[in-house]
Structure 1
Amino acid sequence: MSRWPAFLEEFVSLDMLLLFIVGLLVHFVFFASIFDIYFTSPLVHGMTPQSTPLPPPARRLMLIVADGLRADALYELDENGDSRAPFIRNIIMHEGSWGVSHTRVPTESRPGHVALIAGFYEDVSAVAKGWKENPVEFDSLINESKYTWSWGSPDILSMFAKAAGKHVYTYSYDANDEDFGAQDVTKLDTWVFDNIKEFFHAARKNQSLFSQLNEEKIVFFLHLLGIDTNGHAHRPSSREYKENVKLVDEGIKELASLLKEFYGNDEKTAFILTSDHGMTDWGFHGTGHPSETYTPFVTWGAGIKYPQKVSAQQFDDALLKECKLEDWKRRDINQADIAPLMASLIGVPFPLNSVGILPVDYLNNTDVFKAESMFTNAVQILEQFKVKMTQKKEVTLSFLFTPFKLLSDSKHLNLLRKARSYIKQNKFEEAVSLCQELIQLALQGLSYYHTYDRFFLGFNVVLGFVGWASYASLHIIKSHSSLTRSVSKVKKPSGLLPCSFVAIGILIAIFLLIQSCPWTYYVYCLLPVPIWYAVLREYQVIQGLVTSLLTFPPRHFAGYLLVYTLGIEVLVLSFFYRYMLTAGLVVLAVWPFTTQLWTRAKGISLSWIFFCLLLAVFPLMPVVGRKPDIFLVMGAGLLVLLLSLFVITSLIKRKESFVNEELVLNLLQMLSTVLSMFAVYSTHNSLLKKQGLPLINQIISWVILASSFVVPLLSPTVLFERLVSILLSSMSTYLLLSRGYEAFFPLVLSCLMFVWIHTEQEILQQSGVSCKQKVTSIQFTYNTDITQFRQLCPDDIRRAFFLVFFLLTAFFGTGNIASLNSFDLASVYCFLTVFSPYTMGALMMWKIIIPFVLVMCAFEVVQLTTQLSSKSLFLMVLVISDIMALHFFFLVKDYGSWLDIGTSISHYVIVMSMAIVLVFLNGLAQLLTTKKLNLYGRPKSHLI
């Protein structure tokens, strides 16, 4: 018995093991490079705080954030023509100003609150923290306030209180109260309103607290999570969501009355009502849909402009007419602009890292106050620009440093002097306009210096990419083909080549050292040196390849090159357009007609065509927005039961010694499927009745999930029995995680995989290569004798391409893993309803992995029947994925919405991870297909 796992047996040879380790390290570096190039924090420190030198209009600020509240949900009228928020509507018409706050993607809770309170859009480096906390400290309105009291979700309040100090007081409920399956989640909001009422009542009897509440520059922050939770659980069009909006409106009305009574109607309180993000019609947020990025913004009280009637407005969306607010001036605002507005209202320094532009149109104050506030805003953003420029200048050689030409030192000084001069001359409008121009230039300069090294780093990473793909290709040709056998031995080159590369490496290191570059820069810049040295060392292989290509018929070579180029482009486009997978499957359906398969094996060909076309339907189905259809899940469950009955029938007709054990195993899997169907149906009905997740359903779901890892290992290692056992066990779990048509996806995919196995064996027989056994009698064993593996042929490139294509079909067949919007939290409600991002994420990730496992298990059989070695397959997939990754590296965006930027980066990460994940999926597939758990300690014999 070998002490190595079967999957690693082929890699035990020193050269292959070394290549495997080096390959992992190289890809890890390429993977990590994206974080240094695109995921670096834009925040800088060392700026001087800036505040308006005039008395502020408000002594205190009440910030109310209704999490998940859409703009139309607050402003629109109901079916009877009445407002769902009559108090807020009265504010819009008689007391304050209103508009739409435009958010950026990702429209998630943490990024939205950071933009509101700190004034900058999401620090992209926080993606590694799952949007839960910032890896870099930042300033915020709460930091700058004299006192802040906040009520709401512990996740939101804690991230601002952590670095703020002892002047910030937080009051939070238990995180377990955030239950999507709870009967009434409006308690999350009523808890906040009840507690703040108790707080003010208690303050009347507490002299110390009463004194603090009467100070200047204080903030009350209310985070209301009920609307967001109701939207996720019931959708924004539901009665629950709309009733929650009414409840919030009533709560704010009582709160405003309470503050007037407490402060004796001193008219020194400013109120702001907004939302961190909206929500799609299907109850999700995380994309760039207007329903998510349009949030309400209503403000009133001290320092806020009163309503203004207008005859016409500049906005062309339907919101004005649908809400019947076209007569009241709408003032839209960018979400980050709210932070400087709040700072200006209570007279605290603008948050140091804020990139928001003060919306002076909201201010009800003197022109000089507006101009001075705008000047302060410009200086505050200019401070960031100057620090950023200084930092970059200090680490760049003077003759190589290229400053931002649109805002030189002399120009920004002239603009500041001119703006100050306008204020002294009472030319306030000109001063405001000039400050806005200066802010725009400073923001462009911040972006310029933040991305200063991007081209330099990107060039080195691309150089390494091309070098590694070239080396992997040469290694495949050298080790797994007979291409170089006829090449005559050439005299080895002198030591000039290694010396030249050593000299290049030393020069690069000195250049980086002089500029005090981070250690990661050394890795990205020096890595291409040994890679290209390794490429040029294979001069014999290069010579053989060139010689072979010269003798290859040009027409055939051009045909192969065109087909594989188009194939890779289809794979790349499938990341952006799922219907490209449909087009690819249609082409695959036609593929048998281009070979002898159609004439010699029509039955297999017809099956291949049928299942390719059937699978092609799934990428055309909607990713999101679909309503749950439990009957489709039940239908998929019935098909699984029919498949189980077919297997049991076939087993009864056989006389092998293990039939009785296999019958019991299949009956258990049938029971598991029935229990899954029961759990899905029962949970769906229970949640509709607002009775929560039944405990028995939760227990059943977790037991089925756990058993799905063990049950396949109890079945025989004969191909048919083992693959069916893996499918049936996986389907029980998949049903629990399904909401509709996607429940059929693993079944159809598995059928196509079975046909693929037969197809590959038939093709190999037609090519004259003898196969070990018939497909139906293959036993899962792994022979690592290198003599059993044949040399590669062009058809093996097609097999590797098929594997990549089917893996991407598993990725995008029923959803888009590159977008958060494809994940429906309701998919995990059979397991839990209390919000737990890591557990929910793990469950949804397992749902995605299940089709991968089915594909890899099928390919295990393809490898056995075609005598294709794992290492040659790994290297071919590596080259294909690297070519795709190079595409996505150039397609990564640093402009546009966060959805565009984030999606392009996730595409790169997915493809970069493909080869690495393939190794571990291969290991998992071999574990599931080759290992056998023996019950009662008795060894089982399953020889054919």
Structure 2
Amino acid sequence: MDIPVFILAGLLVHCVFLVSIFDIYFSSPLVHGMTPQQTSLPPPAKRLVLFVADGLRADSLYELDSNGTARAPYLRSVLENNGSWGISHTRVPTESRPGHVALIAGFYEDVSAVAKGWKENPVEFDSVFNESKYTWSWGSPDILPMFAKGATGDHVYTFCYAAESEDFGAEDAAKLDMWVFDHVKSFFNSSRNNQTLFSALNEEKVVLFLHLLGIDTNGHAHRPNSREYQENIKQVDEGVKEIASLIDNFYGNDGKTAFILTSDHGMTDWGSHGAGHPSETLTPLIVWGAGVNYPQKVTTQFFEDNFLKEWKLENLKRLDVNQADIAPLMASLIGVPFPLNSVGTLPLEYLNTSALFKAESMFTNAVQILEQFKVKMMSVKTMYILPDCVSYHFMLLEYFVCLQVSLCKTLINLALEGLSYYHTYDRLFLGLSIAVSFVGWTTYVILVIIKAHTNLTKTKSTVLFYGFASAGMIITFFLLIQTCPWTYYIYCLLPVPVWYAVVKEIPVIQDLATNVLSLHIGQSAGFLLVCILGIEILVFSFFYRSALTVGLLVFAGWPVITQLWIQAKTKALIWTLLCVLLAIFPLMPVVGREPNIPLVVALSTYVVGSTHNSLKIKQGLPVMNQIISWMTLALLLLSPTFLFERLFSILLSLMSTYLLLSTGYEALFPLALFGLMFVWINMEQEALQHYGLSLKPKLAVFNFTCTMDITQFRQLHLDDVRRSFFFVFFIVTAFFGTGNIASINSFDPASVYCFLTVFSPFMMGGLLLLKVAIPFVLVSCAFEAVQVTTQLSSKRYITCCISALHFFFLVKDYGSWLDIGTSISHYVLVMSLTIFMMVMNGLAQLLTTRRLGLPRRNKHHSM
């Protein structure tokens, strides 16, 4: 197979492998076509007021300050005298969109939405707002529109401030909350002169939603333990008190208003959220008003977090819920249908109603979830030929509906299990198809490399083409009678051409087996053991970053093992020292670190320090600093293309950008990494003589623009396998050296303050990805130098293929969302790495071989 065709085939196959995981694990669990369910009995409340204090931690609200007084005295008095309280347990990712979807729609983050939107959910879903008679909402333009857009009819109204108001460098972000409170007051005052609005407000099934973003913004800018964050809590407390009083007075204290205060997510001590730290997943929940239980006195109660004594609330019953349970609670209080896709269970202990109303509400909750199960089951039943046990499963559920209401919780659990069963019904055979393709492709790649770079047999054997064609037809027929989606044809038919290509190389396989058997058993076993150990270190590094430390320490001894230290003692010593230095970084924390601006300033320009000082005294982002920061992104291709000069130029340019995006020790990482890469280039030059290669270019005068066909110089050598593994290991180190999946989820906005402070998720996310990519670029450019100076034809992606297959089998569909999401993220990351390294190779060639120059004007001499 020609090289371009082989590369194209490889890209297509890897794209299929990557996309398959989204069809297998990332398909939307939502179903449509259910019948709305609501309680027939009159509800206890006519209206509901929902306060969501964005980014409010449970402990920040409930704990007492240093003087023993409550930070939120009004809300403290409510939970002690008028209402019920507890903890709302959120799920990962602890971000605003999934948190609000869980609160208002009753289902957790739709994983199919991860790559499709930030501010809006890309799939249609029902919500309490949509089921209400009218909903009015005030707050952030990032949250409110997604619930109005998905609503049927014209009954969900939003009032948002400008997106530019969400400025992390603003003087005081509490103004965002003050804006909401002021506009709610103006809204009710104006309604007295607007008969249409006044009549609408006096309808039943009304929802008022106040989204309060100030606490979250102050937490990002100043940290949750700051004076600004804690003062903002007091201001929210006062605002909630005023709004509650205003609404009670507006309705003549009719006792038909229910109030809920909660949060979409918490925040870590260092001002980030997105991962699974308890400070992010434990959010407050206080409910009071119509239909809500009064405080319940208890003598003892036990929770694993042991917060009750610290909060001085050990004698008031704490009622914990899952975040999705709040949606059915709101629906029950005002008597609207439960959101169609809700998977929450109604927390009965919050209700102060008759036993009949509780029973009816619980039964409605059970039937609403059962409706989802029935629709999901029928959708699968129309696609596949199901066994008789499925019909029995359905009959069992129907039997539970006919039994007494006390079995509703059992019914809910059974229906949820059924939903999960049918959602993952086709996961097994799709996974097997991809795994078989994986093994086949990896085998084929190895055979192609062996054929191209050894003296083994190059001829191909004739195989029964019609046998593979028949297998493909049988698989196609099976998929046709099952009426499967078109993507299933790709996943299930892919093994046929892949294994056909493998079987055609039977002579090569036989020749390879003969050569392997002729080798010394100890040598073969040793090489195999080293390969397996190396791959396992890479795999373990995804779970335990300290594995990279072990690998780097082993690398430090490479010159001693190969006796390179004899001919290059100075270079070997520097290599060892830099390996040990770089090995320190994977042991450092990736989240939870406090900014260390002096350390960054010591290595960079005045811009970082002056930017953070300006933000600290609340003077905003200096315009000149912002201009300088953006200009540093355009200084890459101005140096000569000689190896040393170009690599040093790339380092300086990328290092400047990286420093502007740094807040702590990670500022040292690219310097240590590139120092090791520079020594690696020199060490590989010394290693060339080990297999007698006479051509050894002088690095001092080597020019990247010198074109040469490196595949024609020499055959593959075992040292090339080591070089490729070094490259893959350094690429993984480039990512996990200072970060991991949690550190990306827990993105700290302080990293981008030199570029912008106004909340812009896509721009901030882009800058974060740039920071993550810079170490990759440094390693890729170094490997480009190694590749062309050692005449190495790189086939480095084999290691990634094997690692990706390993991670494919480690993907979970059970446990917490964090466990499942992390396992999928690891697979996607290592799978993307294979494609990503091909892109990095092209980028490295661009950066090392291209040079920008100013056009010269021709001089005209007059006679």
Q: Indicate the TM-score class for this superposition, using the shorter chain for normalisation.
A: over 0.9
In structure 2, the residue matched to 1:503 is 470
In structure 1, the residue matched to 2:52 is 65
Which of 130, 133, 136 is 1:143 aligned to? 130
Would you say 1:450 and 2:435 are equivalent positions?
A: no
1:506 Cα offset (Å): 0.5
Which of 619, 633, 639 is 1:691 aligned to? 619
Name the CA distance, whole Å, in 2 between partners of 1:566 and 1:387: 48
Which of 409, 412, 423 is 1:439 aligned to? 412
Please give the per-residue CA displacement for 1:659-678, whole angstroms capped at 9, x wherever unaligned: xxxxxxxxxxxxxxxxxx11
1:414 Cα offset (Å): 2.1
8 Å Cα contact 1:312/1:327 also seen in 2 = yes
1:818 Cα offset (Å): 6.3
After superposition, where does 1:90-169 map in structure 2 within 5 Å? 90-164=77-151, 165-169=153-157
Aligned residue for 1:222, secondary structure, equals strand
8 Å Cα contact 1:227/1:244 also seen in 2 = yes
Which of 631, 641, 651 is 1:703 aligned to? 631
After superposition, where does 1:206-225 map in structure 2 within 5 Å? 206-225=194-213
In structure 2, the residue matched to 1:227 is 215
Which of 591, 609, 619 is 1:681 aligned to? 609
Please give the per-residue CA displacement for 1:592-631, whole angstroms capped at 9, x wherever unaligned: 1111202222112111101000111111111111111111
Name the CA distance, whole Å, in 2 between partners of 1:609 and 1:249: 58
1:635 Cα offset (Å): 2.4
Alignment CA distance shift 1:402-1:37 (3 Å): farther
Alignment CA distance shift 1:230-1:404 (3 Å): farther
Which of 59, 71, 76 is 2:63 aligned to? 76
8 Å Cα contact 2:677/2:779 also seen in 1 = yes
Aligned residue for 1:935, secondary structure, equals coil
In structure 1, the residue matched to 2:601 is 634
Alignment CA distance shift 1:822-1:324 (3 Å): closer
8 Å Cα contact 1:818/1:906 also seen in 2 = no
Aligned residue for 2:364, secondary structure, equals helix
Name the CA distance, whole Å, in 1 between partners of 2:49 and 2:752: 37
After superposition, where does 1:917-928 map in structure 2 within 5 Å? 917-928=836-847
Name the CA distance, whole Å, in 1 between partners of 2:576 and 2:456: 35
Name the CA distance, whole Å, in 2 between partners of 1:41 and 1:732: 42
8 Å Cα contact 2:57/2:283 also seen in 1 = yes
Alignment CA distance shift 1:409-1:900 (3 Å): closer
In structure 2, the residue matched to 1:839 is 763
Aligned residue for 1:89, secondary structure, equals helix
1:547 Cα offset (Å): 0.9
Alignment CA distance shift 1:37-1:114 (3 Å): same
1:403 Cα offset (Å): 4.5
Percent identity, please. Answer: 67
1:493 Cα offset (Å): 2.9
Aligned residue for 1:101, secondary structure, equals strand
Name the CA distance, whole Å, in 2 between partners of 1:267 and 1:851: 61
1:832 Cα offset (Å): 0.2
Q: Which of 905-914 and 362-371 deviates more?
A: 905-914
8 Å Cα contact 2:326/2:346 also seen in 1 = yes
In structure 2, the residue matched to 1:414 is 399
In structure 2, the residue matched to 1:930 is 849
After superposition, where does 1:343-362 map in structure 2 within 5 Å? 343-362=331-350
Stretches of structure 2 that go unaligned for 5 or more consecutive residues are 859-863
In structure 2, the residue matched to 1:655 is none
8 Å Cα contact 2:710/2:792 also seen in 1 = no
Q: Which amino acid aligns with 2:160?
A: S
1:783 Cα offset (Å): 2.7
Which of 440, 462, 475 is 1:493 aligned to? 462
8 Å Cα contact 1:97/1:305 also seen in 2 = yes
Name the CA distance, whole Å, in 1 between partners of 2:39 and 2:201: 23
After superposition, where does 1:42-441 map in structure 2 within 5 Å? 42-164=29-151, 165-398=153-386, 401=387, 403-404=389-390, 408-419=393-404, 431-432=405-406, 434-441=407-414
8 Å Cα contact 2:710/2:791 also seen in 1 = no
Alignment CA distance shift 1:583-1:130 (3 Å): farther
Name the CA distance, whole Å, in 1 between partners of 2:568 and 2:744: 43
8 Å Cα contact 2:92/2:274 also seen in 1 = yes
1:160 Cα offset (Å): 0.4
1:785 Cα offset (Å): 3.1
8 Å Cα contact 1:97/1:307 also seen in 2 = yes
Name the CA distance, whole Å, in 1 between partners of 2:176 and 2:346: 32
8 Å Cα contact 1:819/1:903 also seen in 2 = no
Which of 546, 552, 558 is 2:519 aligned to? 552
Which of 553, 557, 561 is 2:528 aligned to? 561
Name the CA distance, whole Å, in 2 between partners of 1:839 and 1:68: 21
Which of 895, 898, 904 is 2:823 aligned to? 904
8 Å Cα contact 2:31/2:376 also seen in 1 = yes
Name the CA distance, whole Å, in 2 between partners of 1:445 and 1:766: 62
8 Å Cα contact 2:273/2:746 also seen in 1 = no
Name the CA distance, whole Å, in 2 between partners of 1:781 and 1:409: 69
Please give the per-residue CA displacement for 1:387-415, whole angstroms capped at 9, x wherever unaligned: 111111111124xx47458x723322221
After superposition, where does 1:526-925 map in structure 2 within 5 Å? 526-637=493-604, 677-706=605-634, 708-709=635-636, 713-785=637-709, 788-817=712-741, 819-821=743-745, 823-869=747-793, 873=794, 876-925=795-844
8 Å Cα contact 1:615/1:745 also seen in 2 = yes
1:131 Cα offset (Å): 4.0
Q: Which of 597-606 and 798-807 deviates more?
A: 597-606
Aligned residue for 2:142, secondary structure, equals helix
Name the CA distance, whole Å, in 2 between partners of 1:250 and 1:58: 24
In structure 2, the residue matched to 1:38 is 25
Name the CA distance, whole Å, in 1 between partners of 2:698 and 2:737: 31
8 Å Cα contact 1:765/1:771 also seen in 2 = no
1:260 Cα offset (Å): 1.2
Name the CA distance, whole Å, in 1 between partners of 2:305 and 2:666: 35
Q: Which amino acid aligns with 1:897?
A: S
Q: Which amino acid aligns with 1:902?
A: G
Please give the per-residue CA displacement for 1:253-305, whole angstroms capped at 9, x wherever unaligned: 00111011100000000000000111111111111111111100000000000
8 Å Cα contact 1:761/1:771 also seen in 2 = no
8 Å Cα contact 2:173/2:217 also seen in 1 = yes
1:878 Cα offset (Å): 1.9
Name the CA distance, whole Å, in 2 between partners of 1:569 and 1:822: 27
Aligned residue for 2:2, secondary structure, equals helix
Q: Which amino acid aligns with 2:737?
A: G
Name the CA distance, whole Å, in 2 between partners of 1:414 and 1:779: 79
TM-score of the pair, normalised by structure 2: 0.97
1:913 Cα offset (Å): 1.4
8 Å Cα contact 1:629/1:739 also seen in 2 = yes
Q: Which of 467-476 and 767-776 deviates more?
A: 767-776
1:824 Cα offset (Å): 2.1
Q: Which amino acid aligns with 1:166?
A: D
1:104 Cα offset (Å): 0.8
Name the CA distance, whole Å, in 2 between partners of 1:596 and 1:93: 74
Name the CA distance, whole Å, in 2 between partners of 1:784 and 1:522: 42
Would you say 1:463 and 2:436 are equivalent positions?
A: yes
8 Å Cα contact 1:51/1:347 also seen in 2 = yes
Alignment CA distance shift 1:845-1:449 (3 Å): same
Stretches of structure 1 that go unaligned for 5 or more consecutive residues are 1-13, 420-430, 638-676, 940-944
**Alignment: residue pair count:** 857
